[in-house]
Chain A
Amino acid sequence: MAASPSSYGPRPWTFYALATLFALFVIFLYGPMIAVLILSFQGPSAALVFPLRDPSLMWFDELFNPRRVGDVVGAFERSFPLALIVAALTVVISVSAGFAFRRRFIGDTVIFYTAIASLIVPGLVLSIGVLVTFRYLGMPAAWYSSALGAHLSWTLPFGLLIMFAVLGRLDPSYEEAAYDLGASRWQAVWSVVIPIVLPGMIAVALFGFTLSYDEFPRSWLTVGSKNTLPLEIWTMTTNVTSPALYALGAMTTFVSFAAIAIALTSIVAIQRRRSGSK
């Protein structure tokens, strides 16, 4: 019998070729990030390139010194709560909408394609639009109003698409069983549906948090006079020529990795507990 790609025989040569391609891609993906991580510990030579001389933490210290580099701490104190609010709202709104989309209703196609359009509209175009809207309303742009809305218009379609994937796999018979056993609608949702889709909700929260925390174009004109972190970094790329920029990069990446780690470990923990209690 001819060896098919999925049967357990000796690995075909294509496996080794593609494994090499994959390894090179991973190096391409992570190599530069690791370079920045290492160079953020650069010593007083302040060189922006290798080699790393006299490793120190001085550039991290520099970050908290607003005289030298911009208002990094203040920017973080806006970016972080903004990302948390966006994450929470993205979960609530896209889970709720995801349930509505499980059946057809009048207007569902229009809403769906509007969400897709909101996903693909260039961020800069939306940024201008939101700024102009707030001007007409006579409201000042701020991170907690205009930027929040601009971020949601981008995270919600992502959340909705993830909910489609999650709810597509949800068997309606679980809910029907709950109703047959006398559960009210809220009981069915709270005790049956929510626990099943919880890993998906965590994924939506992760997308909401990280997309907002790192968003640049949609924040650019909408945050008002005070910068969020990506805008602060953007300003730094033009006027800070010291490894402090790398230090900030390392710190930001650390926050993102922490969010990813929290999300993934909680998903794994839920799955494990579920398979353990079976």
Chain B
Amino acid sequence: MTSGDVQKSPRFVYLQVAPLVLVLFFFFAIPVALVILVSFFHYQMLVGMVPQFTSKNYVDLLSSPTTWALYLSTVKFTVIVLIITFVLGFWIAYFLVFHVRNLLTAIGLFLVCTVPFWTSNIIRMISWRPVLGKEGLINSGLIKVGIVSHPLDWLLFSDFSVVVAYVHLFTLFMIVPIFNSMARIDKSLLEAATDAGATRWGVVWNVVLPLSKTGIALGALFVVTLTMGDFFVVTVISGGLSGSATSGIFNDLQFLNYPRAAANAVILLVVVLLVAAAIFRLVDVRKELVR
């Protein structure tokens, strides 16, 4: 068929993909390459970047206990948030796919979960202030009921509030991919497992969980990279008390120390990419997506 052949002509395919490639080249590949390049530059007070090769930035950073403390704090947050968002995301997706019987209801409830994704993150974070603050809803409620006599001050501007904000912002990124994976599971498989004598829990553990692997991996990829790369949640909602890997970059930038900020950024990038690579080794995401 001639028209089909015309469509398959490789030149046309490259034309179709060219705009994407151009944007990725100029606004992803080149910037990241330049960050790597600049991270090996000298920094001089008042002058700024001096294009002279040095590995001083990396040596400084990697030998500084502050860097390690910041990364430890980031990893701690990431692990806690990953566990909470996974448990929440898995069971919410499970509820929507296997317990809600009407498809339209399921889609409606799914949308309820996703709408906040399309609203401003900063506003969603600020909105915890009147809830968690010293005179906030939770504290005044607790005092009224008589559970505590003084407001709890660890609710806001603490590690606790940072975790709350992350879970609030990122659980969605778990729900959506897991929901997608679960929606593709043939329901007769579950019935077969039950008929063969599996308990309800056994079905979840041996059938649903393995078949949702791709969704879980994609969700974990999002949650890990978003939490590790975040810098404004920790700044706004921890009150400057908790640090993260990005706080170092932020400080360097305020002193216009671009080489050090770049070196910091490269270290962060390497850590994030290692995690991503580990996840991609577990599942072939593209094959699953195009399927």
Shortest CB-to-CB span from B276 to chain A, Å, is 6
B4 contacts partner chain A, Cβ-Cβ < 8 Å:
yes
How many residue-residue contacts, CB under 8 A, span A and B? 278
- Chain B, 203-225, contact with A by CB distance < 8 Å: what is the 0/1 string? 10000000000000000011001
For B128-146 the 0/1 string (1 means CB < 8 A from A) is 1111010111001000000
Contact with B along A154-177 (1 / 0, CB 8 A): 001000110011001000000010
A242 within 8 A of B: no
B59 within 8 A of A: no
Of the listed stretches B63-71, B75-83, B89-97, chain A binds: B89-97
Complex contact B19–A97 (CB within 8 A): yes
* A103–B16 alpha-carbon span in the complex (Å): 12
**Interface size of B by Cβ–Cβ distance < 8 Å?**
96
Most chain B CB within 10 A, of A94, A115, A207, A259, is at A115
CB of B122 closer than 8 Å to a CB of A = yes
Q: Are A233 and B130 in contact (CB-based, < 8 A)?
A: no
Does chain A have a CB within 8 A of B103? no
Binds B, one of A14-22, A55-63, A65-73, A194-202: A14-22
Given contacts A5-B194, A125-B32, contact A237 B126 (CB under 8 A): yes
Contacting pair B127 A35 (CB below 8 A): yes
Given contacts A132-B35, A217-B232, contact A230 B194 (CB under 8 A): no
In the docked arrangement, what's the CA distance between A156 and B195, Å? 46
Do the beta carbons of A5 and B99 come within 8 Å of each other? yes
Contact A216 B118 (CB under 8 A): no
For this complex, 14 residue pairs linking A to B, each with C-beta atoms less than 8 Å apart, are A22-B109, A26-B113, A32-B130, A33-B119, A100-B17, A105-B13, A120-B272, A129-B30, A129-B34, A132-B38, A184-B3, A217-B232, A245-B126, A249-B120
Extra contacts, 8 of them, besides A25-B171, A179-B3 (Cβ < 8 A), are: A35-B130, A36-B123, A97-B17, A105-B13, A136-B34, A176-B1, A185-B6, A216-B121
